[in-house]
Structure 1
Amino acid sequence: MAPPPEAHNHADGPVYGHLVQARDIHGGVTVNAAPVAAPVHDVSLDPPRPSTAVRGRDSLLDALRAAMERGAPVPHVLTGPGGFGKTTVAASLAEHARSEGWTVFWVRPDTIQPSMLEAAVELGGSRQEADQFRAAPRQAARWVWRHLDAAPRPWLLVIDNADQPELLDPENRPGEQRGWMRSSPGGFVLVTSRVDDPGLWAPATVHRLGSLHGQEAVDALVDHAGGRRPSGSDELAARLGGIPLALSLAGRILATHGVLFPDARSLLEHIEEDVSRLDALATPMSQGGGTERQLLSGVWNVSLRLVSDQNPQAIPLLRVLAVFGSDGRAVPMAKLPLEDLRGGRLDLHSIPLDAASLARTLNALVVHGLVTVIGTGNDMALQLHPLVSEGVRSGMTEQDLPLVEEMGTLLDRQGEQDLRFQIAARGTLARLWSKLSAHSEEDSNRTPEFTNQRELGRALLLIGLPEPGERLFTKLVADATRVLGAENSFTLKARHFLAEAKMYQGLLDEAEEEFRALLSTVTSALGADDVATTEVRYMLALVLVRRERWAEAEKQLQRVYDERVATSGETEPSVLFTAATLAYVAVKQGRAREGERTLRRVYAIRESTLGAEHSQTLNVLQDLAHAVETDGRLAEAERMFRRVRDVRREHVGAGLPDTVLAEKDLERVRAALARAESGAQGTQEG
């Protein structure tokens, strides 16, 4: 039974009638209408009632109603992440059971033994016997189930929020039905849990709840907004990812704060950068027992605590996934190589990181609904719901800066593979670093932020998007000059990429002017023979290539090539870049066979060291196709251009400049092939 009110004027347990509470001796009286929202320490015969229609769960409720019969062969379990509406579905089924004349018992696992004993008393069990069994859990379970099995009226037992299944049976798997979750000839058992592990619950029937989609999500938002459909509802529902709790909070905010947010678009603008702002607005409306589970941050914090209690590596791993997989992007397991993760924040002193511990941690995240596995084997990837990903990032603090820096290092090791992934991850990482270190007065702390921005801009250039790259590098040069100094190596490299972005846009005068100014600076600061000085001379030669001043470009490139070979040998990456560019110039000057030989040599090295689908390998293949096309071997060139087009579509994306260029090359050579075939056919007919 509920304890009496405590001395500090706090009331626990169900209240029948009205409870009058005096705030303090200075007055202020609150009249709370029954029933009050307070923690229930014994069985509830008055389960929660959905405040609105239950959207998007019609087929699930139909299946549960059909299965709900006295003596159902197995219990049923609703699983899904926190905030996805498991309790709401269970409450709707409880309403149906009440309407059918069934008794409804609603219990929570943290007080399950006293609650179940109270249920047996409700069914006619002796209070004295119940008290005797409180210290004997096994005997208590047998005594309770005897009464439930023999109940005169059918009943529905809902065990809500069984997020720690061991509470249902500390000694056995819950699905074995030897503890508090059992099938019974007297009624029907429904369990809700975040733990989506069919093996744990078997042979129970498991139903997984996902997010709402389309009109169902909009309708849920409108229901909680009081039935009115504010403008922008579709966009807001989409922004909230169809998560029922988020839709509920947003709808209630619109209904309560109509002056601040006259329509859904105004609320959407308020949360656009940080969805956790919903919690701040909804907190005054989420008072009473279980407040934590009524807020987005709360439901995710509960999940994180449950997972991290048994798997301490789960939280840092989830944070990595929340950055690499923001906006719902899948993170291939190849992006999380075990050898690169070792020695970092995932490699705890108490639990060394190895394949087994990583697998256990991932499995824990999966069964708690925080991570979804896509694909199998070498193609396996991990995905977070966009709102879960955003919520995890919102919970990160300045203490996570070392982990953020570690993520940047992890991306550095992956080079230029999968540029779309690099751009998305770098962008998220740069914004997160800026946010977490915003209050720091130490300029030196910005170096990792600058590095992420530089690599993001570099990826934009590689993927063929120089305009946003120029904007990024313009700001980065200004910031780095102020913080690090004009002649700092990082600042000089940022200036280099800024000039490169101008060149790729065809702003050749500006690019040449910047490269010449940079050449003067690096020559003065580092010397004429320094690697950085040679790199700037190489870029000036590329400007000449773009101006189609072939002979002058070839002379400059040959000088750079000789210097690089003398310093590094013929297979060093910068030497290969220079060799490929020289070969391209040779093709443009009518020496196609000479250029082809060099390009084939460079291509073979790139393919063996970087892989056939690396952007640098594809660039050489495209130049090689041009050489073959110039030599008149159109069918061979068509195969090469088609290969470049297909890989770029897959790894860069359709519609981006490099992919479009590859498509144009393919169209041109196919048109030439068609003309050649048509001419040959005409000659034969003639």
Structure 2
Amino acid sequence: MPLSPGAADGSCDGRSANAFRGDVHGQLVQARDIHGGVTIHASQAPPLPPPLADVSLDAPRPATAVRGRDGLLAVLGREMRAGAPVPHVLTGPGGFGKTTVAAALAERARAEGWTVFWVRPGDVAAGMVEAAVEAGGPRREAERVRSARHQALRWAWRHLDAAPRPWLLVIDNADRPEELDPENRPGDQLGWMRSSPGGFVLVTSRVDDPLLWSPARVHRVGELDAPAAAAALADHAGLAELAGAEELAGRLGGVPLALSLAGRILATHGVLFPDAHALLDRLREDVGALDGLAAPFVPVADADRGLLSGVWELSLRLVAEREPKAAPLLRILAVLGSGPVPVPLRRLPLSELAGGALGPLDEASFARAVNALVVHGLVTVERREAEAFLRLHPLVAETVRAGLTGTDLPLVELAERLLDHQRHRDLRFELQALMAIVSLRVRMHPADEDAATARGRASTATTTAARAEAFRTLVSVGGTLLYLGRPEDAEAALAPVVAAAEEQFGRAHPTALPARHLLAEARLRQGRVDEAGRSFRELHADRAEILGPEHPDTLDTAYQLGLIAIRRERWDEAGEILSEVREARLRTAGEEDPLFLFAAQNLSYVTMRLGDPVSAETGFRRVHRVRERVLGAGHHLTTDAAFYVGRAAQERGEPAEALRIFTDVLRNWEEQLGKDHPQVETVKGRIAEVAGSDAGTPS
């Protein structure tokens, strides 16, 4: 539209008839004169408002019935309807079903007419503001306060508190609690987690730290019990009944995510896995195969929460953000705590842990690393009397081990050094750890001579060294099996090691010699005295020639020859051999030397069998005192010496004293060795003898 000089929205001065002042909307056309060109000036558009946050507040819908959580859902439902004075928090490891419980509660709330707001991690503030808008807050005001955190907090909670309909607010996967409030504890209720008269607030998080959430009420979500786990597995498989469901659910540890993955595999791959038994066979040795079979069902973006490996890796990343040492510590614990026996805290001395894979470490940083693992549900602490143990869920340990690669070999070597530090102190614990180490060494160093040759001489040497380490680990397995009273299993483990070591390194190699010794000992403990005697005589000659007659290993073989003489009841021969071993070790190592104590104890046994239980008891008590001082009162070898003190009391005709000693021995051995150990049966037999004998009647 043409504008005239002097118009209400413009002005013209005398200096320039072509000048214009005033607000312009759209485009202003200026003509220099009626014959000149025309210049068009585009007006500058005002800045566009920021786009509205695209926030989804829709709750996920459970794909199947929610099993095993009826009690928890009942509690949450009651608290929700009653108007809880504090927020509630579901904690537990990833994959254990916290989100599923929250989604089931959301279904119930929606059915009862409640509004449900589901806020996801990553941008909690945007979700909370959007929830307040849906609760009645004007959007124009929301956009104005959105960028100011404190204003947004006050504005959102004011509208949520005054909402016309009751609501359920779920803040899911709050695994970084600082997102709820970067300045205060979430439990202070100064941030996005607060109680409200308008509704019920439920938070899910891997962070199980009551002090962080207090005074909120914390519910720990664990694995499913056996019936619920089997039913959940069948649900995910789409079957009313599933053959083998109980066994497969047990293999998966009742972990809901694992059950979901297994069910989907069964539903999709019915040809490969017609029932749970078939899938169990596939997973029996390698639970990591579960992820590979289920991977096509899980979007790449959800891999960190949709696959077992992703769940634990996400937990490790979250832990490492606060405590970098926690991640390598968990991997070490996954090696040591690979079975049902937890890791004794005393088997993790700082003197052995510091340096290497964990770097510098002091008591405070170690405590922080352990606490970080506990808080994230990856490790639990158990206490027995005055001792603490660390336990991993078996599926967590197995999945973490499955993710170890060759770069993690220093962690495996550190785990083995930790076992060597207190060898034969906790036999069942040591055996499970050694078996895991053997498996990892084999996987990390496959025996491939052709590939090694192609990589050159240095790589061949590395492979040879790796094999030698694996052989040494297997030898340790055999020794532990012997201590556990399983000589048949020990022989099965050691025989191929001896054959391979002799073939690759020779009979006199440092790897072959101890393997030969333990193999002969395994045969001796099975009663094959002549066979064991031949093996020990050959080994003694080899060791004496290579190591010298008074080397500890040579004397250890001589000691075994003394035991063979005892088996044959050749008491004089046994006494002569054992006396030589005892005196040699006393001269060079002192009375705390383990071989000295073994020889002294068995020499006292010879004395007892020759008819002098009083002198024998003196010898047994001496061994017991030294072992108690060096190993501790509860060690199985200290208890072994106590057993022979009891035997001497029995021989002296003191059944009451013998019964008291044998009863203590039984309790200690059942705890240390297991109730099925042959020595446990032996002491039970002695108890029965003493209990049924007359006072003063020797056995």
Range into which the TM-score falls when normalised by the shorter chain: 0.7 to 0.9
Deviation at 1:522, TM superposition (A): 2.1
The C-alpha deviation readout for 1:528-559, integer Å capped at 9, x for no partner, is: 44443333222112111111122222233334
Counterpart amino acid of residue 103 in structure 1 = T
Cα contact 2:438–2:470 (8 A) shared by 1: yes
Structure 1 unaligned runs (5+)? 1-39, 678-686
Q: Residue 142 and residue 629 in structure 1: after superposition, are their counterparts in 2 closer, same or farther (change >3 A)? A: same
The C-alpha deviation readout for 1:139-181, integer Å capped at 9, x for no partner, is: 1222222222222222222111111010011111112222211
Which protein shows a greater Rg?
Answer: 2
**What does residue 370 of structure 2 align with?**
362
Aligned-partner SS, 1:301 = helix
The C-alpha deviation readout for 1:224-251, integer Å capped at 9, x for no partner, is: 1102322111100111111111111111
The 5 A counterparts of 1:117-516 are 117-287=129-299, 289-346=301-358, 348=359, 352-375=360-383, 378-438=386-446, 441=452, 442-516=463-537
Aligned-partner SS, 2:122 = helix
Q: Residue 562 and residue 60 in structure 1: after superposition, are their counterparts in 2 closer, same or farther (change >3 A)? A: closer
**What does residue 49 of structure 1 align with?**
61
The C-alpha deviation readout for 1:245-298, integer Å capped at 9, x for no partner, is: 111111111111100000100000111111121111111111275332111111
* 1:667 maps to 2:679: no
Q: Distance in 1 between matches of 2:368 and 2:116?
A: 38
Q: Residue 430 and residue 590 in structure 1: after superposition, are their counterparts in 2 closer, same or farther (change >3 A)? A: same
Deviation at 1:570, TM superposition (A): 5.1
* 1:520 maps to 2:537: no
The 5 A counterparts of 1:579-618 are 579-618=600-639
Cα contact 1:328–1:389 (8 A) shared by 2: no
Cα contact 1:41–1:111 (8 A) shared by 2: no
Q: Residue 280 and residue 496 in structure 1: after superposition, are their counterparts in 2 closer, same or farther (change >3 A)? A: same
Deviation at 1:328, TM superposition (A): 3.9
Q: Distance in 1 between matches of 2:588 and 2:159?
A: 88
Question: Root-mean-square deviation (CA), in Å?
Answer: 2.2
Q: Distance in 2 between matches of 1:192 and 1:565?
A: 63
**What does residue 647 of structure 2 align with?**
626
Q: Residue 498 and residue 163 in structure 1: after superposition, are their counterparts in 2 closer, same or farther (change >3 A)? A: same
Which residue, out of 107, 111, 115, partners 2:119? 107
**What does residue 560 of structure 2 align with?**
539
Q: Residue 41 and residue 393 in structure 1: after superposition, are their counterparts in 2 closer, same or farther (change >3 A)? A: farther
Q: Distance in 1 between matches of 2:670 and 2:208?
A: 36
Question: Which shifted more, 139-148 or 628-637?
Answer: 628-637
TM-score by length of 1: 0.88
Cα contact 1:499–1:514 (8 A) shared by 2: yes
Question: Which shifted more, 115-124 or 155-164?
Answer: 115-124
Q: Residue 103 and residue 569 in structure 1: after superposition, are their counterparts in 2 closer, same or farther (change >3 A)? A: closer
* 1:73 maps to 2:94: no
**What does residue 10 of structure 2 align with?**
none
Counterpart amino acid of residue 399 in structure 1 = T
Cα contact 1:405–1:448 (8 A) shared by 2: no
Deviation at 1:653, TM superposition (A): 1.4
Deviation at 1:54, TM superposition (A): 0.6
Aligned-partner SS, 2:67 = coil
The C-alpha deviation readout for 1:58-109, integer Å capped at 9, x for no partner, is: 1111111212248542222111111111111111111122222222221113
The 5 A counterparts of 1:541-556 are 541-556=562-577
Q: Residue 429 and residue 288 in structure 1: after superposition, are their counterparts in 2 closer, same or farther (change >3 A)? A: closer
Aligned-partner SS, 1:373 = strand
Q: Distance in 1 between matches of 2:597 and 2:71?
A: 61
Deviation at 1:569, TM superposition (A): 4.7
* 1:98 maps to 2:110: yes
Q: Distance in 2 between matches of 1:356 and 1:419?
A: 29
Deviation at 1:468, TM superposition (A): 0.7
Question: Which shifted more, 601-610 or 215-224?
Answer: 601-610
TM-score by length of 2: 0.86
Q: Distance in 2 between matches of 1:564 and 1:74?
A: 69
**What does residue 7 of structure 2 align with?**
none
Aligned-partner SS, 1:68 = helix
Cα contact 1:292–1:298 (8 A) shared by 2: yes
Counterpart amino acid of residue 486 in structure 2 = L
Q: Distance in 2 between matches of 1:578 and 1:646?
A: 26
Cα contact 1:477–1:495 (8 A) shared by 2: yes
Deviation at 1:327, TM superposition (A): 2.8
**Aligned sequence identity (%):** 53
Aligned-partner SS, 1:152 = coil
Q: Residue 160 and residue 536 in structure 1: after superposition, are their counterparts in 2 closer, same or farther (change >3 A)? A: same
**What does residue 642 of structure 1 align with?**
663
Q: Residue 94 and residue 42 in structure 1: after superposition, are their counterparts in 2 closer, same or farther (change >3 A)? A: farther
The C-alpha deviation readout for 1:319-347, integer Å capped at 9, x for no partner, is: 2222222234322222222333223422x
Q: Residue 143 and residue 469 in structure 1: after superposition, are their counterparts in 2 closer, same or farther (change >3 A)? A: same
Q: Distance in 1 between matches of 2:74 and 2:585?
A: 73
**What does residue 88 of structure 1 align with?**
100
Cα contact 2:244–2:275 (8 A) shared by 1: yes
Q: Residue 663 and residue 156 in structure 1: after superposition, are their counterparts in 2 closer, same or farther (change >3 A)? A: same
**What does residue 656 of structure 1 align with?**
677
Deviation at 1:638, TM superposition (A): 2.5
Q: Residue 469 and residue 640 in structure 1: after superposition, are their counterparts in 2 closer, same or farther (change >3 A)? A: same
Structure 2 unaligned runs (5+)? 1-51, 453-462
Counterpart amino acid of residue 620 in structure 2 = L
Question: Which structure's relative contact order is higher, taking Cα pairs within 8 Å and 6+ residues apart?
Answer: 1
Question: Which shifted more, 257-266 or 471-480?
Answer: 471-480
**What does residue 20 of structure 1 align with?**
none
**What does residue 21 of structure 1 align with?**
none
Cα contact 1:86–1:209 (8 A) shared by 2: yes
Deviation at 1:380, TM superposition (A): 2.0
**What does residue 48 of structure 2 align with?**
none
How many residues of Structure 1 are paired with residues of Structure 2 in the alignment? 634
